[in-house]
Amino acid sequence: MALAASETVVHPPASAPPLTGLTPLEAEAVDLFVGLAQVVGLPKSIGQIYGLLYISATPLSLDDIADRLDISKGSASQGLKFLRTTGAVRLCDEHGSRCDHYEAETGLRALATGFLKEQIEPHLESGEDRLARLKRLAANAPAAERTHVVQRVKQLESWHRRAAGLLPLLIRFLGK
Amino acid sequence: MALAASETVVHPPASAPPLTGLTPLEAEAVDLFVGLAQVVGLPKSIGQIYGLLYISATPLSLDDIADRLDISKGSASQGLKFLRTTGAVRLCDEHGSRCDHYEAETGLRALATGFLKEQIEPHLESGEDRLARLKRLAANAPAAERTHVVQRVKQLESWHRRAAGLLPLLIRFLGK
DNA sequence: ATCATTGTTCAAAAATTATTGAACTACGCC
DNA sequence: GGCGTAGTTCAATAATTTTTGAACAATGAT
């Protein structure tokens, strides 16, 4: 603060992809994916990274990403790890450079599959144990409530079946 | 404080629905819905409340809920408000009592519809504006990248259409 | 009209989750 | 070997979200 009176704002070069900061187009794309990330419960940084890679015409390195988005290398590394294991991002065979470069996987089916496999399926599986335990407890409930709770647990089982059946259907619908 | 020396701990009655604390069955049901809430990005208290109402054989009042789950009235009020506006919970016409009682809506279709309408649809709508802005920016991009970014934005539009088409399909699949 | 009961709101506190940055490993090059 | 670049990990910090609880409005009973 307390700028010298004569100080002037330095304007960035008018054209050419900046090494730091985002073009308006990139910023808009990043924003869109940040919003999407929020919707599916993922951290903002992951949305930023994927968004930048999605719109970028060329593969980007970890450092490119951290610099352009102004996030730490740590965040970039963690975010890319997640995106890699989830299949949303690919390491592309870099001809010239010494470091790894990434590009976005843009097939909706691949993205959805990765996300569902990683984030939803585990819950469906652990749900089975839960349901089994619930079923046992319901069977032992006091007589007055037994029919009611048994019915509810049956309904939960039906939900579970339907959810499990939904996953492959979803993937098919989004497919190729 | 400062209890008399001879005071003894009062054990809760061995049976009958406790006015405070949860039965093992209730605890298990609550847990299950807490997990579900996490999955869809809702606060724990909302999962707790819905879980308790789901398994309960009788409608419960706000105070019942706060007491049994050991959460504040504030949380219970906010949670119930959300569940009401989302259609996951119903005020049921209480014959005798002076206060409102709630019961869980258990139709999967109604639940899914409420959730999708409330949590997903708004994003799909704002997405349209976003896409329009992106499209304009892409059209003005430097020639070298233009075809690439225009293609990407087209792909985003196709994602958007598919997502929008998915919603009614989903509801139908879960229906009745 | 006063008091008790029910429920809401919202600022402050607590809990949770994401991000940072420094320490560290691994690798290639000189 | 020693040095520089890439990348990962993780404890500490920051940001965000949730929960609390006290103040308040509304309604009904006496």
Each residue's pLDDT tens digit, B123-165: 999 999 999 999 999 999 999 999 999 999 999 999 999 999 9
> B106 and A152: CB-CB below 8 Å?
yes
Is the dihedral angle over the CA atoms A24, A51, A37, B153 positive or is it negative? positive
End-to-end CA distance of chain B: 55
**Pick from B92, B44, B101: nearest CA to B71:** B44
pLDDT value, residue B13: 52
End-to-end CA distance of chain A: 54
Between CA B156 and CA B151 the distance in angstroms is 9
Structural contact between residues B124 and B162, judged by C-beta atoms closer than 8 angstroms = no
Cα-based torsion angle of the residue sequence B151, B156, A86, A83 in order, rounded to the nearest 10 degrees: 70
pLDDT value, residue A15: 53
Per-residue confidence at A3, pLDDT binned at 50, 70, 90?
A: very low
Q: Output the six-digit token pair for A56.
A: 């970028």
Distance from CA of A2 to the nearest CA of B (A): 37
Q: Cβ of A87: how many Cβ atoms within 10 Å? A: 17
Distance from CA of A7 to the nearest CA of B (A): 32
Structural contact between residues A103 and A65, judged by C-beta atoms closer than 8 angstroms = no
Q: Shortest CA–C1' contact from A37: which nucleotide? A: C18
Per-residue confidence at A97, pLDDT binned at 50, 70, 90?
A: confident
Please report, rounded to whole angstroms, the spatial distance between the CA atom of protein residue B43 and the C1' atom of nucleotide D29.
37
Please report, rounded to whole angstroms, the spatial distance between the CA atom of protein residue B93 and the C1' atom of nucleotide C13.
37
Q: Is B39 on the interface with A (CB under 8 A)?
A: yes
Between CA A108 and CA A114 the distance in angstroms is 10
Mean pLDDT of A48-73: 98
The amino acid present at B107, given as its one-letter code, is: G
pLDDT value, residue A18: 57
For chain B, positions 75-104, list CB contacts with chain A under 8 A.
none
pLDDT value, residue B3: 41
Between CA A134 and CA B102 the distance in angstroms is 23
Structural contact between residues A28 and B134, judged by C-beta atoms closer than 8 angstroms = yes
Between CA B173 and CA B160 the distance in angstroms is 20
Residue A49 vs residues A64, A79, B134: alpha-carbon distances, Å = 10, 7, 17
**Pick from A90, A167, A76, A81: nearest CA to A124:** A167
Between CA B117 and CA A14 the distance in angstroms is 43
Instruction: Write out pLDDT tens, residues B6-54.
Output: 445 555 555 555 556 899 999 999 999 999 999 999 999 999 999 999 9
pLDDT value, residue A14: 52
pLDDT value, residue A12: 53
Per-residue confidence at A141, pLDDT binned at 50, 70, 90?
A: very high
Please report, rounded to whole angstroms, the spatial distance between the CA atom of protein residue B91 and the C1' atom of nucleotide D29.
23
A104 or B174, higher pLDDT? A104
> B162 and A174: CB-CB below 8 Å?
yes
- Answer yes or no: is B80 CB < 7 A from strand D: no
Angle at B92 between CA A139 and CA B42, to 5 degrees: 70
Structural contact between residues B86 and B48, judged by C-beta atoms closer than 8 angstroms = no
Instruction: Write out pLDDT tens, residues A110-136.
Output: 999 999 999 999 999 999 999 999 999
By CA distance, what is B29's nearest residue in A?
Answer: A134
Mean pLDDT of A157-169: 94
Find the residue closest to C28 using CA and C1' atoms.
A98
Mean pLDDT of A30-48: 97
- Average model confidence (pLDDT) for chain A? 91
Per-residue confidence at B2, pLDDT binned at 50, 70, 90?
A: very low
DSSP A12: P
